[in-house]
Each structure stands twice: as structure tokens, then as C-alpha cells.
A and B are shown apart, each in its own frame.
Chain A
Amino acid sequence: MAARVGVVIFPGTNCEHDAILALERLGASADLVWHGDTSVDGYDALVLPGGFAHGDYLRPGAIARFSPVMEAVGRFADSGGPVVGICNGFQVLCEVGLLPGALQKNRGLRFLCATVTVRVETEDSVLTAGVPAGTELRIPINHFEGNFTCDADTLATLRTEDRVVLRYVDNPNGSVDDIAGVCNQARNVVGLMPHPERASDPLLGSVDGNALLGALLASADSPVGAPVS
């Protein structure tokens, strides 16, 4: 049976249709989940797509963490359901505390829209299951606040626990330790700045993002950790 993915949308989100299109091309079924909803029952995986939730007022993700849906997202994650935050979704997951660290303004203080090379650093996450560590992928980035930062202890923990999921080959934004994506301790919540959905069709110049989205759908069919209630 096709995985059913909930794509969480806040006012100001703008990559929701792109995420749905890319996931559906890979055989999933995907629906929008409104930020005011209080339940995510029935979904096998959740995606928080890119954009500017609540206008990025105050700072990216700072208001979105208070949207009613985030409590349901938290319960879904706690029960082992796969959750992926892309770009603004990553920022929201950091703000709500499902992922460590924070995303500050890019080194150079400019918005950056460009295709970059990222390296898969661990096969052990819902986004990279079955994609061997060391695999290099060409995937676009599109952000002003994509410069990942965290304190030294957190960074040491991320390294020791093998929780850096993706690194930039040529760091575009100043992220500490070239980090492009991380996961939580249970490895079912992943955040990344690059947009895999933008590398999902030969017409767009790369299909490398499908390896990640395909891994997410496979994870949705056989979730890690506790069963989804």
C-alpha cells in the first residue's frame, strides 16, 4: 500500500505543492495538513516543507512552533513516526525542540538559491535508509537562514551519535562542521536545508533528491522505533 504522507502547511509556507508533487511521483499519496489542525492521525509520515511560516516574523519557525498542529507533530515523532523538515521545516523543528541546534543567517548575509553537492553521512535515519554513507547528491538550496549552529557539547554529541545526516561538500553558508542535515536521537526526525523535491525530475537538472524522498517513503512503510499509535 502506498505510504500516506501529511504535508504540514502554515500560512506563508510555499513549497507544499512541490513536496506533494515529488512524493506522488514516487508513488506516495500526500495531503495538506493545516497548521490549525490538532490531529495527524492516519499518516505514515509527515513532511514540514519550505517557505516562510507565519512570514518568518521574529525569526524563522519562532511563531510556527506555537501552531496547534505542532503538538500533534510532537506526539507523532515521540511515537516513532518519520518526520522530515525541509528548509523552513527544519527551522521549525529546531524551534520546537524536536531537533538540536539553530539556523542563523548565511555567512555573507545574502539569500542563496543554487544547486550544491551534499554527502550522505549516515545510512541510519528515516531520510537516508538504504542510501550508503559517502553518496554525493546534487540538490538545490534556497535560504537566507541556513547556517546551522549549535554549542560545542551538542556538536560533540551529534558526531558521537552519528547524527549528522548530510554535509555540504563545499560549504555555502558557514554551517558549523559543514552540516546540511541532522536527526534526533531516535533517528526518526530529520531536518535538512537542501530541497530534495527540487531534484526530483530530469527537467529540473537533477533527480538526486529522489534517493532521499524514496528512503522516507520506505521508512514510512516500516517505521523505526515504536509503532505509530
Chain B
Amino acid sequence: MVTRSGQPLHRALGLTDGERDEVEAILGRPPNHLELALFAVMWSEHCSYKSSRVHLKRLPTEAPHVLVGPGENAGVIDAGDGIAVAIRIESHNHPSAIEPYQGAATGVGGILRDIFTMGARPIAVMDPLFFGDPTEGRQQWLIEGVVSGISGYGNSVGVPTVGGELTFDPCYAQNPLVNVLCMGVLPVERLVLGQASGVGNLAVLLGSATGRDGIGGVSVLASAGFGGDGDDAASAKRPSVQVGDPYEEKRLIEACLELLDAKLVVGIQDLGGAGLVCATSETAARGGVGMDVDVSAVPRREPGMVGYEVMTSESQERMLAIVTPEDLGRVEEVCRRWEVRCAVVGKVTEPPDGEPGRLRILDGFGGDVLGDVPAAALSEDAPLYHRPMARPTDYEARAADDPGALAAPDDCGPDVLSLLSDPSWVYRQYDHQLFLNTAEGPGGDAAVLRLAAPGLPASMRGLALTTDSNPTWCAIDPRAGTAATVAEAALNIACVGATTKAIVNCLNFGNPEHPEVMWQLSEAIDGMSEACLALGLPVIGGNVSLYNESFGVDIDPTPVIGALGLIEVLSVRPPGVTLVADAALVLLDASVGASGDRRSPPSLAGSRWAVERRGHRSGTLPPLDLMGHRRLVEFVSAVVTEGVAGGDGLVDGIHDVSGGGLGVALAELSVRSGIGLQVSGVGDHRDLFTEAPSRVVVCTTRRTELISRAAEAGVGFRVLGTTGGDRIVVGGLVDLSVAEAGAAWRNRLPSLLDELAPASTD
């Protein structure tokens, strides 16, 4: 089969010649067009993880409280009190690059469906976003569109967006990253898995009618880079972006949760990438059964659609429920009430003797067979690639190029100001309070939520949630950078008094056919694995987004880590990133020995100061002592949680030291509280701007007690100074007024983005 342009059909669909031959071997005959299309979408990089699976196996995934690990629609942990928490993270990078509003909006919609597929009510979303230089018009258009898309969809569908990240770096100019994390809660006994069972049961398609939007989204968009195949490749791919309708999704959520509560479904699966073919083949494969799908029964949005279009469409807001024939009437009744369309489109079938179940695509039950493949072959027999890996040839030269010798600023104050940015321009556009759970919203070290939702058993517990990334570090050393990112996430969770229970990850990388990119991916996975093992954290889910390249240039390796923490008793808001006047400032620092000496000189490698003020992106990252870090994390969590539980807390304000180093951490504490500070003993600009890990600034009115507790726990510390007044003073380096710093912090994003007309939503 060839296309009109003479290209073999399988290549036009994204399959290699070898993959096409493999399909023929599985079927024992040449595939027809429809069958080839099914394999093309299911064996796409996006759906099959064919380049990354061999590496992902090295991650630790188990812990006693893990109920569901990687491979399902979402990871699930037991949070106690009869409540389970589901969490997942995904990317919607390529669609957002092409059409920022709909790309971001449907990213939110898709991940919500993954969560309620597990039987959970989605209660929080977070959005880590990465763009190019925000002073450029095109980047501003992308930022505006993506933020409006998340706001427009998330607010309307009724799930609060409680945090995220905003990173600017030129490497994302052509290839912005839009990741989205969602967390949901459920009574443990409602946990459902996406599988079909019971021969004769019905597959019922719920939600929107099926159109031509998003056909081949996973294979056309998500599994190839941009540029190089025509002048206007991005425009040509626009029809592959789906269009979202949050009102449809809201009714779908309520209808599905009601069906699950009433125990009217035996299995349920969302329709995301690869649409109906993915949902039907995966539910059948997991249940060890077959399925007949009648394409003529699928409600359509437009006439003239052919079988492969119906099967691979990525139209949004659809779910597939497996229902017994006896319950169909009651299912239809619930759907009618919520104004959700439902149609029987398939039947669970008995596998042939001793063989795996078949996925048969029919034109009417009992009508023509349009396609017939083993269901499991689509998901489980996907190719597995050990792609070549190579360390970049300039790796050692770059490691030796240390930024320590860069010219020191005469006055560090202006450099501190230039590194301040208040993200509230973004999160004020997100409903972050719905459900009355948000004790600590966006902008802090981690969000804190009550563990509560309609229909859940009562609980005093709280949840903490953060996403973290450090692509600059990962570009220098993907292994150490990723380990440091995991460490930072765990420390952020500790800063709000919680204990990290699970990690999810979204691995955004370049083209896996570049050996350097595969090396980065492999190293990042090893770094994550090392940190998770040392800190005792299971990885319960993840997503891999490859081909983030434009015109042959890959993005910096960008592993995003989502961390989920638990608070045993949440009765008082955590102190947060703030100061009280007339208190002491103490730096808890795992890199300081018991004698108070630093174990290593402060490295500026990978720091925002070196990159943004000096354009320097090389060197050797500051070391991370994972055992020392673990002691710090446990100590911080313990002292903060005493106050959060309603006790007499030692901590009046707290902030981890990360991007921008100690200088930015101190300034942020000051501008958020409006209170000044006086710090001494910071040696030079390297000490001020190094982003050495495992450090936390604590504001306390009980300095002596905090210090003695730290010493007992084997956690290093330095007394930095005191709070009060209206100036930010770091002896010999910085002297700024709080008002001036506050204005720089607050005005950064509005001054760039508020002149714009809002993005159109159509």
C-alpha cells in the first residue's frame, strides 16, 4: 500500500519497515489499512514507550502503602483512614506548541479522565510550564494561550489548580513544555482498574460524539519533532490538535463517579491518545478477553468518517465503560440525568481456545469484519528498542569549565532583584481554592490540602503536593541533576510539615534517535533511581515525552518530578514562606559539618546567577549527600509538623534554598512578608548565589531550641542573622529596601505580559 505521494502507507502512518513486517508476522498475513492504522497509533512512541521502557524498569516502584504502581492510568497510594490517593503526571507539549489554548486545555482534560478512571474524584491540578525568553512576542503569545487554556478548562471543569512552575530558557523557544499533574481521592474500596471482564458484557461509550479532531495525534504530533519537513509543518499539523469542552467533561466526571458509586460498571477506561483503539484493546488485554467493536454504533460528529478515523480519533471527553447487560438500563438513566450521551459500541468476547483475545472491528454486530487483530499485540507486543547511547563529546571539557572565576558583581543587590519573579500573575488566573481544601496555595514551597472530598470518610490528615525540575542542572549532568531534583521535591514537601510518600515523573527529552539524548534519558533515570532509593521513595507513575526538538536542536533534558506528601494531623496552616519580625534566621544545611565548616566550596555551576547574569552553563554541580539530605528532610518535616498539628511550633517561616541561591531565598522571604532582615557571614557572591542542595532558611523566635534540636538530629546549621526593619541587608553584599525588592518581584511578569490582548479561545 502506498499513499498518493508514493510513500508506503506504513511510513506515512509512522511505522518503520521493520515494524510493518512485525505486524505481518503477528497477523500471519499482510495487514489491511485499518489494521495498519491501529498498530501505528498503538506502537507510537507516545503510547508504547518503545525507546524508554528498557530504562524505566530500573526505577524503584514498591512500598507497603503503594496500591497501584506504574503502568495503570494512575498510581495510587493508601493514605490511611480508608482513603486512597491517585496521582498522575503527563505532558501536552506538542499540541501546546501548535495551538497553545487548546493544547493546554485538553492536557488538563486528559489527565482528569486518567484520575477518575481509577474511581477517584480529581481534587487538585498542578502545571509545570517551560517557555523561551518571555520578552519575545511569540513566547508571550504562547504563555498567554497556555495559561488561558489551563484557566479556561480547569476552572470551568471544577478542579482547583494549586501550583506548578514557570521556567524560562531559550531552549524552549520552539518547543514549549506543558506538563500537568493531577491528584484525586477515593474511598479505598472504590478503586477500579481499566479492564474488561465477563464474556457478553457490553462496552459503552460515554460522552462526546467522535469527530475527526486529533486523528493520529500520538503518532503525528507526539512522536516526531518539529521542523525539517516543510516550511509550515506546524500549521499542517494543527488538525491533529484536539478541542476541549470542559462542560462536557464536568458532566462526564459526575456521571462516571455516580456510576462507580452505584457499582454499575465492571471496568472503565478513558479515551486519550489513540482513542477507541487504545481503550478497547487495553481493557480487553488487561482482562484477558477479546472485544468486538461496532464502528457503525459510534456516535459521530460529522458524516463520511471511515473505520480507521473512528477508531483512532482523539476527540475529547469520552470514556469507555464495561457494563453487564442487566445494568445497561440504569447506566442509561444516570447518563440521561447528567445529559451525557451513551452508546453500546462493543461486546466482550471469549478468546479462541488457548489463544489471546481478539479485537475485531465490525461494521455492525454481525456485519462485515473490517479488522481482526490479537488485542494484546497492540499494547504488549510493541517493539522495544535499545537505542544507542553516547555521552556528549564535550562533557569533560564542560565539567572543567567552572564558573567560580567569573567576574563578581560590585554590588549583588541588582543581581538579586533581577532574579526575583512573583508567579501570581499565572496562578491568580487559576481557581486554586475550590473544595475548601487549600490550606497552602500556589507560590509556596509546596501546596497543602485537606484530605477531604464529598463521599470520603472523615480524616484529620492533609496532603502536600509539589512539582520540581532543574533543566539547567540536568543539561550539565543529567544524573546528578535529576537526583537533586528529587531531593528538592522531598525537601519542599518537608517544608510544609509533610512526609513524601510517592513520586511521579514526566521525562521531557529530545529526539531519542540522537545517542546523546538517550544517554541523558538513561542517566536521568539512574539519578532518579539513586535518589529515590536513598530517600525511600517509590515511583508510582510517569510519562515520557520524547522528540522535543526543533530544527534538529534538542531541548535541555527536563525531568519533572511530582511529589506527594502526607500530613498526619493538619489542624493549623503551615508557616509558609514568610517572616515574623524580631526573630532569628537559621540556615539548616546538610553540607555543613558539625564543626560549622563547609565540606565543599560553594559551586556556581548550574546556578541561575551564572546562567542569567553571566551566560555561563558549564562546570561541575555542587555535590549532593543523599544520606545527609535525608536527615535534613526528616528533621525539617518533624519540626514543621509539630506546629501544623496544633502544637507549639518552632518554625515561624521557612523556605528552601533553590533557584537563585540564598540571596533569592532571603529576598523572597522578605518580600512575601514585607519584613526586612539583617544577615552576616555570607562570604562572597558565590556563597550568595550557589544553588548547593540540602539547605533551608528557617525564621524562628526560639533559636536556641531549634539549634539544639538540629544538633541532636545531626543536621548542620549556620545562624544567619535576624529579622525586622524595612531593608534586606546581607553584610557587604546586598542592601535593598523591602519595597524596592517587592516591586521588582511583583512587577516582573505583569510588565511583560499585561499589555497583551488575551488569547482567543477559538
A196 to B573 Cα, complex, angstroms: 19
A113 to B454 Cα, complex, angstroms: 23
Pick out which of these stretches binds chain A: B78-86, B274-282, B284-292, B431-439: B431-439
Q: Known: A14-B158, A52-B247, A57-B247. Contact between A113 and B431, CB under 8 A?
A: yes
Cross-interface CB contact of B434 among A15, A57, A202, cutoff 8 Å: A15
Shortest A87–chain B CB gap in Å is 10
A200 to B450 Cα, complex, angstroms: 14
Cross-interface CB contact of A111 among B155, B157, B158, B435, cutoff 8 Å: B155
Q: Which label, helix, strand, loop or mixed, suits the secondary structure of the A interface?
A: mixed
A220 to B322 Cα, complex, angstroms: 46
Q: Are B436 and A52 interface neighbours, CB within 8 A?
A: no
Give the chain A neighbours of B432 by CB distance below 8 A.
Answer: 113
Q: Are B247 and A55 interface neighbours, CB within 8 A?
A: yes
Cross-interface CB contact of B431 among A11, A142, A203, cutoff 8 Å: A142
Q: Which residue of B lies closest to A55 (CB)?
A: B247
Q: Are B246 and A55 interface neighbours, CB within 8 A?
A: yes
Q: Are A52 and B433 interface neighbours, CB within 8 A?
A: no
Give the chain A neighbours of B737 by CB distance below 8 A.
Answer: none
Q: Are A112 and B428 interface neighbours, CB within 8 A?
A: yes
Q: Are B428 and A113 interface neighbours, CB within 8 A?
A: yes
Give the chain A neighbours of B339 by CB distance below 8 A.
Answer: 11
Q: Would you give the 0/1 interface string for A49-84, flagging 1 where the beta carbon is closer than 8 Å to chain B?
A: 001101111000000000000000000000000000
Q: Would you give the 0/1 interface string for A160-171, flagging 1 where the beta carbon is closer than 8 Å to chain B?
A: 000000000000
Give the chain B neighbours of A202 by CB distance below 8 A.
Answer: 572-573
Q: Are B151 and A142 interface neighbours, CB within 8 A?
A: no
A200 to B437 Cα, complex, angstroms: 11
Q: Which residue of B lies closest to A34 (CB)?
A: B337
Asked whether any CB of chain B lies closer than 8 Å to the CB of A12, the reply is yes
Which residues of A128-185 are within 8 A (CB) of B? 140, 142, 144
Give the chain A neighbours of B428 by CB distance below 8 A.
Answer: 110-114
Asked whether any CB of chain B lies closer than 8 Å to the CB of A44, the reply is no
Asked whether any CB of chain B lies closer than 8 Å to the CB of A109, the reply is yes
Asked whether any CB of chain B lies closer than 8 Å to the CB of A18, the reply is yes
Cross-interface CB contact of A142 among B250, B433, B436, B754, cutoff 8 Å: B433
Q: Known: A11-B339, A204-B433. Contact between A111 and B151, CB under 8 A?
A: yes
Q: Are B247 and A54 interface neighbours, CB within 8 A?
A: yes
Q: Are B156 and A55 interface neighbours, CB within 8 A?
A: yes
Asked whether any CB of chain A lies closer than 8 Å to the CB of B547, the reply is no
Asked whether any CB of chain A lies closer than 8 Å to the CB of B429, the reply is yes
Give the chain B neighbours of A195 by CB distance below 8 A.
Answer: 433
Q: Are A18 and B338 interface neighbours, CB within 8 A?
A: no
A105 to B102 Cα, complex, angstroms: 21
Q: Are A109 and B758 interface neighbours, CB within 8 A?
A: yes
Give the chain A neighbours of B338 by CB distance below 8 A.
Answer: 11
Known interface pairs A11-B251, A55-B248, A201-B436; 15 further A-B residue pairs with C-beta atoms within 8 A, sorted by A's residue number: A12-B156, A12-B250, A15-B434, A111-B155, A111-B431, A113-B155, A113-B429, A113-B431, A113-B432, A142-B434, A198-B433, A202-B573, A203-B571, A203-B573, A204-B439
B residues contacting A by CB (< 8 A) are: 151-152, 155-158, 245-248, 250-251, 254, 338-339, 427-436, 438-439, 450, 454, 570-573, 754, 757-758
